[in-house]
Amino acid sequence: MISQEKIDQLMDSLREMKAAKEQEIEEMRVKWLGKKGEITRLFEEFRTVSPELKKEYGQKLNALKVAAQARIDEMREELSQIVDATKPRMDLTMPGDIMELGSRHPISITREEIISIFRKFGYSVAEGPEIEDDWHVFSALNFPPEHPARDMQDTFFVSPGGENPILLRTHTSSVQVRTMEHSELPIRVICPGRVFRNEAISARAHCIFHQVEGLYIDKNVSFADLKQAILLFAREMFGPDTQIRMRPSYFPFTEPSAEVDVSCNICHGKGCNICKGTGWLEILGCGMVDPNVLRASGIDPEVYSGFAFGMGIERIAMLKWQVKDLRHYFENDLRFLREFETVV
Ligand code: PHE
**131 with 246, same domain?**
yes
- For residue 232, what are the CA distances in angstroms to 2, 225, 227, 317? 103, 11, 9, 18
Helix axes 38-46, 22-33, angle to 10 degrees: 10
pLDDT, residue 268, reads 83
Residue 344 banded pLDDT, cuts 50, 70, 90: low
State the Cα–Cα distance between residues 101 and 168, nearest whole angstrom: 34
CA of 270 to the centre of ligand 1 (A): 29
> Does ligand 1 have an atom closer than 6 angstroms to the CB of 287?
yes
Q: Which of 251, 260, 283, 286 to mutate to test the pocket of ligand 1 (most atoms within 8 A of CB)?
A: 251
Q: What is the pLDDT of residues 260-298, one digit of tens each?
A: 999 998 888 888 887 889 999 999 999 999 999 999 999
83-97, 133-147, 155-169: which range is least confident on average? 83-97
Within-domain flag for 95? no
In terms of Cα–Cα distance, which of 264, 260, 294 is closest to 280? 264
Within-domain flag for 227? yes
> Does ligand 1 have an atom closer than 6 angstroms to the CB of 251?
yes
Final residue belonging to a domain, choices 54, 86, 118: 86
Within-domain flag for 297? yes
Q: What is the pLDDT of residues 149-183, one digit of tens each?
A: 888 889 999 998 889 999 999 999 999 999 999 99
Rg of the chain over Cα atoms, rounded to whole angstroms, equals 39
| Ligand 1 nearest-atom number relative to CA 141 | 1
Find the mean pLDDT for residues 116-137.
Answer: 97
- Nearest alpha carbon, ligand 1 atom 4: 171
**65 with 126, same domain?**
no
Within-domain flag for 21? yes
Task: Give the predicted TM-score (pTM) of the model.
Answer: 0.73
Structural domain tally of the chain? 2
Within-domain flag for 97? no
> Does ligand 1 have an atom closer than 6 angstroms to the CB of 213?
yes
Within-domain flag for 116? yes
Please report the sign of the dihedral spanned by the C-alpha atoms of residue 268, residue 271, residue 274, residue 279. Answer: positive
CATH of the domain at 180: 3.30.930.10
**62 with 211, same domain?**
no
Within-domain flag for 74? yes
**12 with 124, same domain?**
no
pLDDT, residue 243, reads 95
User: Domain of 263?
Assistant: 106-340
Q: What is the pLDDT of residues 14-69, one digit of tens each?
A: 888 888 888 999 999 999 899 998 889 988 888 888 888 888 888 998 999 999 99
Residue 111 has pLDDT above 90, yes or no: yes
State the Cα–Cα distance between residues 325 and 267, nearest whole angstrom: 20
Question: Which helix (H) or strand (E) segment is 310 a member of?
Answer: strand 305-312
Q: What is the pLDDT of residues 197-235, one digit of tens each?
A: 999 999 888 999 999 999 999 999 999 999 999 999 999
